[in-house]
Structure 1
Amino acid sequence: MTILVIEDDQKTGDYLKKGLRESGYAVDLARNGIDGLHLAMEQSYELVIIDVMMPGLDGWTVMQSLRSKQDMPVIFLTARDHVDDRIRGLQLGADDYLVKPFSFTELVLRIRTLLRRGIRRDADIYQVADLQLDTVRHKITRQHIPIVLTSKEFMLLHLLIKLHDEALSRTIIASQIGDMNFDNDTNVVDVAVKRLRATDARCLARR
């Protein structure tokens, strides 16, 4: 299996290339967005890892161009840790989003999960019974009634709907939703889910 790494930081790029090769993957390394996009368009890869902040073409632009012609698993690996950045990356079509500094073991586990799962593109609109989630317009309605959520709550609901057929631990949920400051001694995920339920109840009460 061959992975393409698009990373302009020399130390990080070399580290990823060496570590992934030791984990059993063949690796191509591009040092900028232009070269990375060219490789991704011209060759076949099982997975692509993309940084965001790069000279020439940034990761957002590479992702947009890549999704217009290629359909392969993509992980954003970046220092941009704001919730809105995560949302943007996922809306552009990334399958996962990991923030630097990162655990290499976690990265490998996420790679294996994506490769095992296969390609599963995000829909623009998810429909679950009478609830509709629009990932492009960032809107949610229940029985045609708008539901107002914070960015973090939107990401949580999106994650729960997108992976409804998988068992998600609190740790996995927290790792996918930025700025949750999660640790095993808190119930932050439970609180976030409770808020979603309360918001839904208020929405139905307005009917």
Structure 2
Amino acid sequence: MKLLVIEDDDDVRATIVRTLSEAGFSVDVADNGTEGLYRALHWNHEVILLDVMLPGLNGWDLLASLREVKTTPVLMLTAEGELEDRLQGLNGGADDYLVKPYEPRELVARVRALARRATGQVKNEIRIGSVRIDTASRSVFKDEQAVKFTKAQYTVLEYLASRAGAVVTREDLCETLGIENEEEFSNVLNVHIYNIRKRLGRDFLQNKRGQGFIIPADA
């Protein structure tokens, strides 16, 4: 799952990235509003974490421009905790609002909740046939037996499983894994796909030639 953090404070941004990375997310960053809007518009992210006081383009204006084009869930991160500030963010198109300072666990929980909402999940769980994925603990079970995956393999699996029934392109998976070198990405992805099929069955994850990959909704 790929996130975008738009925050100009180096220390705060580093802390957020570390917290989210340890929770298993792939994190893209921008340290100003202009770059943040560009990344938000040109790449796909599951959730955007947006500070208000930004150089170049403030968070309110960035959010307004983003909402003209995309509906990516946005979590506002700001030290401004007054009611009017919260209302401005929510009325402007933000999906949630978190006031600094905040507990890392709450940050992760809110990001996961927004991601679930965006993909139509109600619980921290995805069930496809005999496979169960606990997205909170990042655990995978087949016939209720635990199946081990590396962090990257799990990231690919969860991304595909959350879109069961739809074809996911290689480019989408490339962005999710944060790999920019096309040749390196192709080799790495092929290994991940092989290992997922090896553990969960070839029919669970199918290759659509020239299109991408799909996990059938009734796998």
Shorter-chain TM band: 0.5 to 0.7
Given the alignment of the two structures, is residue 19 of structure 1 paired with residue 19 of structure 2, yes or no?
yes
Q: CA RMSD in A?
A: 1.2
Q: By how many angstroms is 1:119 displaced?
A: 6.6
Cα 1:70/1:51, change in 2 over 3 Å: same
**Separation (CA, whole Å) in 1 of partners of 2:2 and 2:44:** 8
TM-score (norm 2): 0.54
**Separation (CA, whole Å) in 2 of partners of 1:88 and 1:57:** 16
Given that 1:73 and 1:119 are in contact with CA atoms closer than 8 Å, whether structure 2 keeps it comes out as no
Matches of residues 45-60 of structure 1 in structure 2 within 5 Å?
45-60=45-60
Given the alignment of the two structures, is residue 80 of structure 1 paired with residue 80 of structure 2, yes or no?
yes
Question: Which amino acid in 2 is paired with 1:67?
Answer: R
**Separation (CA, whole Å) in 2 of partners of 1:117 and 1:71:** 12
Q: How many residues in Structure 1 have an aligned counterpart in Structure 2?
A: 120
Matches of residues 54-73 of structure 1 in structure 2 within 5 Å?
54-73=54-73
Matches of residues 150-161 of structure 1 in structure 2 within 5 Å?
none
Percent identity (aligned): 47
Q: By how many angstroms is 1:19 displaced?
A: 1.2
SS of 2:68 mapped into structure 1? helix
Provide, for residues 20-69 of structure 1, a one-character-per-residue CA deviation record: whole Å limited to 9, x for no partner: 11110000110010110000010000000000011110100110001110
Given that 1:60 and 1:92 are in contact with CA atoms closer than 8 Å, whether structure 2 keeps it comes out as yes
Q: Which runs of 4+ in 1 moved over 6 A?
A: none
Tell me what 1:97 maps to: 97
Question: Which amino acid in 2 is paired with 1:118?
Answer: A
Tell me what 1:113 maps to: 113
Given that 1:71 and 1:119 are in contact with CA atoms closer than 8 Å, whether structure 2 keeps it comes out as no
**Separation (CA, whole Å) in 1 of partners of 2:31 and 2:114:** 24
**Separation (CA, whole Å) in 2 of partners of 1:119 and 1:92:** 22
TM-score (norm 1): 0.57
Provide, for residues 6-25 of structure 1, a one-character-per-residue CA deviation record: whole Å limited to 9, x for no partner: 00000000111111111100
**Separation (CA, whole Å) in 2 of partners of 1:4 and 1:112:** 14
Query: Which sections of structure 2, spanning at least 5 residues, go unmatched?
Result: 121-219
Q: By how many angstroms is 1:114 displaced?
A: 1.2
